[in-house]
Amino acid sequence: MKKSQTIIILVSLIIISIPRFNWDEFCNVNALIGREKSKKTLDVNQYIAYTEYFRGKSNMQSQLLEPFTYRPFVPFLASFLPFKAITSINLVNLIALLLTVFVLQKLLKEFNFSRRYIFYGEILFVYSFPVFYYSTLGYVDPVLILFLTMALYLLIKGKFISFILVFILGLTVKETMVILIPVAGVYLSLQEDLSLSRKILLFLIIIVIYLLESIVIRNYVPGKGTYLWIPQSDKLLYNLKRVAGYITTIIVFGVPGIGAILFLTCSECKKHIGRIKYVLLTGMVFSILVSIFAIFSAYAEGRYIWITYPFTIPLAVAYLKFFIERKKSVSANVPIDLHQ
């Protein structure tokens, strides 16, 4: 990547994320469309309280609720910054997204994309609705995106121990990291140099780590009881009535999601990227399932579908390259090669 392109991407990310920083602290976006300023959600208020708890304010413990206390990583990091809690959380989020740009570069290089197409992939990530709308509101999802992207890169790179370490840390960011279990399972199944017994052993190690860490987190974080994501009819009815939930989900899925679908349904594209596309497809499918499950058990919105990006962006870039190279090949009558 040219340094100038990277600088453009990083500066763009900061600019795009600033308007909604700390719930419209610098620019009241809702006022521009004739709405009242948004109020902080329960999630955000919980992460603020959790950050204050880590700063030594033990009286905050009585305000902490599960499952938000299962996610200590971001509030813990934010507690060391000398700013108000929500600002500290959002600075951690912004730094995480900036780091994601570099990890995404490395991930796309693994698919042998040229500098030009890696830049296109970064554009898909940065010039997106979730970066503008959700990145600096006080959620922990931006850091989750970093860990998902990093874990996927390490997995495809074949660095299993590093993948495990990132997976362990990622689970303290948000339990959604669980989608990497089936992703890792598909990746291992495609490794011809591993015996079946070793594949099973490695896959079981991931599952055991997830179960043990979940038990530890649920038993040692502040708060009482155990939260379970159980489908409930009242939540389903509430979410079905929320038109905004549908709109934001579609917008967030956006160009990366559409590009990924176009690639996966393109008969001429099947030979490209190789079998690793099944790993990306698995991540994409399970990310979508998380969003669907939220309709039945939580508050459904576009933020949940954001986790598809580490999987859909490489597929979307592959389709974009195929589309561009096909035009060139038709005019020049030469075969398409996505690996240049």
Give yes or no for a contact between 57 and 71, defined as CB atoms under 8 angstroms apart.
Answer: no
Residues 14-36 have a mean pLDDT of 75
Angle at 270 between CA 119 and CA 261, to 5 degrees: 60
pLDDT tens string 78-102 = 999 999 999 999 999 999 999 999 9
Q: Structure pTM?
A: 0.92
pLDDT higher than threshold 80 for residue 36:
no
Q: Could you give the CA distance from residue 133 to residue 285 in angstroms, rounded to a whole number? A: 23
Average pLDDT over residues 14-18: 95
- pLDDT band, very low/low/confident/very high, at 29 (cuts 50, 70, 90): low
CB 300 within 8 Å of CB 245: yes
Confidence check: pLDDT of 33 > 50 = no
pLDDT value at residue 332? 58
Taking 50 as the threshold, does the pLDDT of residue 265 lie above it? yes
Mean of per-residue pLDDT scores for the chain = 89
Terminal-residue alpha carbon distance, the chain? 15
Q: Tens digit of pLDDT for each residue in 268-281?
A: 876 667 788 999 99
- Judged by average pLDDT, the poorest of 88-92, 140-144, 236-240, 244-248 is 236-240
15 to 10, 33, 126: CA distances (angstroms): 9, 20, 10
Q: What is the mean pLDDT of residues 37-61?
A: 89
Question: What pLDDT, in 10s, does the model give residues 106-153?
Answer: 999 999 999 999 999 999 999 999 999 999 999 999 999 999 999 999
Q: Is the peptide bond before 335 cis (omega within 30 degrees of 0)?
A: no
Residue 267 to residue 276: CA distance in whole angstroms: 16
One-letter identity of residue 38: S
Q: Is the pLDDT of residue 17 over 80?
A: yes
Higher pLDDT, 322 or 208: 208
Q: 22-30 contacts: CB < 8 A, separation 24 or more?
A: 22/86, 22/87, 22/90, 22/136, 22/137, 22/138, 23/86, 23/137, 23/138
What's residue 31's pLDDT? Answer: 57
Q: Where are the domains of the chain?
A: 3-332
Please tell me the predicted confidence (pLDDT) of residue 1: 61
Average pLDDT over residues 36-45: 81
Closest CA to 66 of 206, 226, 253, 193: 226
